[in-house]
Structure 1
Amino acid sequence: MFDGLKDKLSGFRKDVEESTDVEDAEEPDEPESAGTTESGAAEPNAEAPAEPSETVDADTRDEGDGTDGSDDNEPSTFQRAKAFATGRIIIEEEDLEEPLWNLEMALLESDVEMSVAERILDTVREKMLGESRKQVETTGELVEAALHDALLDVIAVGQFDFEDRIAEADKPVTIVFTGVNGVGKTTSIAKLSEWLADRGYSSVMANGDTYRAGANEQIREHADRLDRELISHDQGGDPAAVIYDGVEYAEANDIDVVLGDTAGRLHTSDDLMAQLEKIDRVVDPDMTLFVDEAVAGQDAVNRAKEFNDAAAIDGAILTKADADSSGGAAISVAYVTGKPILFLGTGQGYDDLTLFQPEELVASLLGED
């Protein structure tokens, strides 16, 4: 999963290591003290050393005094030599210029949204220039730490514990699913029903997709396979009424969660968006989840933003994550909407729904797992 993005992030690490390795190789050797042999012994005819009052103590020298004519914000030759000698790493802007450019192109090629890519680059730059003066074992560790923080910064936006929210909410909990046609919305409902059952929660499905031919049959097949109750009306019925009936059924039968399907729609479909608004008024769902395909990349990111603007989603489910090598949607959706990714669909089975864990994803992308 997201193998293409993993390779690109690994490429950035190699770029920075090569950039700093070249610079270290070009560092001038420290000049030998006048009047000493290779062994360090004083030559017979060496000049007398300077008076102590004229000697500069290297340990107390002001590193920002600019005596070498460099910018106060740039490390001097002395600083770099001292850092090299003590095992510290100093990375300058010029070390990062080409690697960051390559990283930006790699992120955009992986369908990461532009503002998200820029945020990642800014964070990496800040972490590596601002924190690089601390002692670390390798440049690679420094790069990995910076990428870890930068990725987590954008991926974990708005994250909350889904199971805790279910556990703490008054029952029944009503969850409405929305998104465009054909992205696996109905199948995701069935998967979430099974995920809830595995954790001891009962659920009922309510088919608010009342306009699409075959919609009742599709969700009915899932309900029968999972032995779940399905609330549905005839084709052309009122979606809000169907989901409301689902809530009433859950209340009467002590069911924990109502899972309400809705018609696939575009954010520009005024009639269908009006349906969502009516569902909000009539049912007042506890959560509205946006569903789209991870493989849709930038399209999924754009749709998530548009649906959130139009209908205020609470989180997202990305299907077909197992088939996605780019990872752009997984990286971008939370940041552009301010709402978290909650689940990833990772296969065809009812058990193939994975709770989204930002830390685990970042560790996987960086090869830490």
Structure 2
Amino acid sequence: MFESLKKKFSRTSEKLEEELIEEAEAEDNLQEESGSRFSFFSFGRKKDEKKEEEVVEEEENLLPEAEEIEEVPEAEEVEEIPEAEDEEIEEESKEEKKSRFWHRNKNKDEPAEEAEEAEDEEIEEEPKEEKKSHFWSRNKDKDEDAEDVSADGEAKGGIFSFVREKTIQEKHVEDILFELEMELLQGDVAMEVATEVVENVKENLVGKKIKRSNDITEYTYYALKDAVEEIISIPGKSMTEMIEEKKAQGEPLVVMFVGINGTGKTTTIGKLANYYLKKGYTPVIAASDTFRAGAIEQVTYHADNVGVKIIKHQKGSDPAAVAYDAVEHARAQGKELVLIDTAGRMQTNTNLMDEMKKIKRVSNPDLVIFVGDAITGNDATEQARKFNDAIDIDGVILTKADADSKGGASLSIGYVIQKPIMFLGVGQGYDDIMEYDPEWMLNQLFSEDEEIVENEA
């Protein structure tokens, strides 16, 4: 998910690192030192690992007193302990001897000539390792790159440091961030979003002082992450919170769904009915798409599958009347949620948009939600903008997010209309829907662990 954006962000880090290291080499301000080189995505993981370690340390600090009280040895046990410790010390000293370099090849059964040949092979291998760790050679061979990086994101080669501390200047990032902006636009990110991300990254990076190459990667990682977090964090209440508020007032939450045909609007209504049914609420669906052939049958099929009541009239009847009847039914029966399906329409069709306004006026919904297809990228963003201008939507649901490699719509749509994304469709089944969480989105974009991503979804 969102693989394209992840690659663009990591390439930005690599290009800035190359720029600064090449400049430092020309200034004779570069030296290689021992240490582990970190990948772009390793910094977020290391932050999480530190938190886990701190929790473990806190738990361990609580244990010693209890252990000391419980393990008061008897006289016989005290006499037996030193012998065991002596044996362990002797075993450890043997292990140390075995591990020493000069003892490794001194085997009485092995001829001296073979030992010399083994030493020669090790000497020949050292220059190869140095080549692998060299900055300019590490990107030449992708297979070598994969072998050089360990499971925790650290590279086996050395890192570069600067003899004199360097400062990231505007000239270092100007071309690199222009390339990032162009790549974001090609990835269906809206123009204003791409510009905002680039400006924020520039502001966060320029003036940073660096001592080694790992600093460049770390600063770029957090500059990009902070910029994206600001874009996707649009405040708004969750639908579940709103249901509870309306329930306390003795009223159902009325939700109207809008969007063009083919985005998965009706299927999404079925998913939401199932989602809230499992949470203990009782939804009712209004079949207010009364003109499209097969629309009433389609929404009835989903309602029957998940086991919720559907309010429907004859084909061609007034959509606003269907919505009104559904709301009255919910009030009479004490149901907490009304989901109104409407006809899909292009945002440029004035007559259909006027009809949608009538449904809104009659049913007086608490939420108007635009349903867009994440795969369509900028088209979904533009559609949301037009619907928002016409009817003032309150939130967004993006379908097919699991199949979206670019991530342009997910990154842009909320920021462009300043309305929150409320749910994401992440599969074909009725259970494949999740409440949107900005922190989850950040993990998608700044994590290389796909298994964790899938489990969270």
Q: Deviations over 1:237-268 (max 9, x none)?
A: 11111111111111111111000000001122
1:290-369 equivalences under 5 Å are 290-367=370-447
Change (3 A) 1:347 1:89: farther
Give the corresponding residue for 2:5: 5
Give the corresponding residue for 1:93: 170
2:204 is matched with which residue: 123, 127, 133? 127
Q: Does 2:246 match 1:163?
A: no
SS of 2:263 mapped into structure 1? coil
The alpha-carbon deviation at position 28 of structure 1 amounts to 4.2
Structure 2: how far apart are the matches of 1:186 and 1:258? 14
Give the corresponding residue for 2:262: 182
From the two aligned structures, give the one with the greater helix fraction. 2
Structure 1: how far apart are the matches of 2:324 and 2:280? 24
1:79-228 equivalences under 5 Å are 90-129=167-206, 132-133=208-209, 138-169=215-246, 170=249, 171-228=251-308
Structure 2: how far apart are the matches of 1:307 and 1:107? 24
Structure 1: how far apart are the matches of 2:430 and 2:368? 21
SS of 1:212 mapped into structure 2? coil
Give the corresponding residue for 2:330: 250
The alpha-carbon deviation at position 24 of structure 1 amounts to 2.8
The alpha-carbon deviation at position 23 of structure 1 amounts to 2.6
Give the corresponding residue for 1:52: none
Structure 2: how far apart are the matches of 1:223 and 1:162? 20
Q: Deviations over 1:317-366 (max 9, x none)?
A: 11111111111100110111111111111111001112111121122211
My pick for the range that moved more, 266-275 or 185-194, is 266-275
The answer as to whether partners of 2:168 and 2:210 remain within 8 angstroms in 1 is no
The alpha-carbon deviation at position 111 of structure 1 amounts to 0.3
Structure 2: how far apart are the matches of 1:328 and 1:29? 40
The answer as to whether partners of 1:10 and 1:366 remain within 8 angstroms in 2 is no
Structure 1: how far apart are the matches of 2:388 and 2:377? 17
Give the corresponding residue for 2:364: 284
SS of 1:10 mapped into structure 2? helix
Structure 2: how far apart are the matches of 1:119 and 1:92? 19
What TM-score results when the alignment is normalised by the length of structure 2? 0.66
Change (3 A) 1:252 1:134: farther
Q: Deviations over 1:100-144 (max 9, x none)?
A: 1221121011100111100110111111125x2489962111111
1:43-62 equivalences under 5 Å are none
Give the corresponding residue for 1:61: none
My pick for the range that moved more, 343-352 or 265-274, is 265-274
Structure 1: how far apart are the matches of 2:29 and 2:9? 33
SS of 2:206 mapped into structure 1? helix
Q: Deviations over 1:35-82 (max 9, x none)?
A: xxxxxxxxxxxxxxxxxxxxxxxxxxxxxxxxxxxxxxxxxxxxxxxx
Structure 2: how far apart are the matches of 1:363 and 1:133? 27
SS of 1:186 mapped into structure 2? helix
SS of 1:138 mapped into structure 2? helix
Give the corresponding residue for 1:16: 16
Structure 1: how far apart are the matches of 2:433 and 2:166? 43
The alpha-carbon deviation at position 280 of structure 1 amounts to 2.1
The answer as to whether partners of 1:305 and 1:336 remain within 8 angstroms in 2 is yes
Structure 2: how far apart are the matches of 1:184 and 1:251? 28
Q: Which amino acid in 1 is paired with 2:392? A: A
Q: Deviations over 1:285-306 (max 9, x none)?
A: 0000001100011111110101
The answer as to whether partners of 2:29 and 2:162 remain within 8 angstroms in 1 is no
Q: Which amino acid in 2 is paired with 1:222? A: H
The alpha-carbon deviation at position 207 of structure 1 amounts to 0.7
The answer as to whether partners of 2:375 and 2:403 remain within 8 angstroms in 1 is yes
Unaligned runs of 5+ in 1: 31-82
Structure 2: how far apart are the matches of 1:85 and 1:159? 49
The alpha-carbon deviation at position 85 of structure 1 amounts to 6.0
Q: Which amino acid in 1 is paired with 2:402? A: D
Give the corresponding residue for 1:54: none
Structure 1: how far apart are the matches of 2:29 and 2:258? 64
Identical counterparts, % of pairs: 44
Give the corresponding residue for 1:231: 311
The alpha-carbon deviation at position 162 of structure 1 amounts to 3.1
SS of 1:163 mapped into structure 2? helix
Structure of larger gyration radius: 2
The answer as to whether partners of 1:89 and 1:139 remain within 8 angstroms in 2 is no
Change (3 A) 1:89 1:162: farther
Q: Which amino acid in 2 is paired with 1:235? A: K
My pick for the range that moved more, 269-278 or 211-220, is 269-278
Structure 2: how far apart are the matches of 1:135 and 1:246? 66
Q: Deviations over 1:143-183 (max 9, x none)?
A: 11111111111112244333222222343000000000111
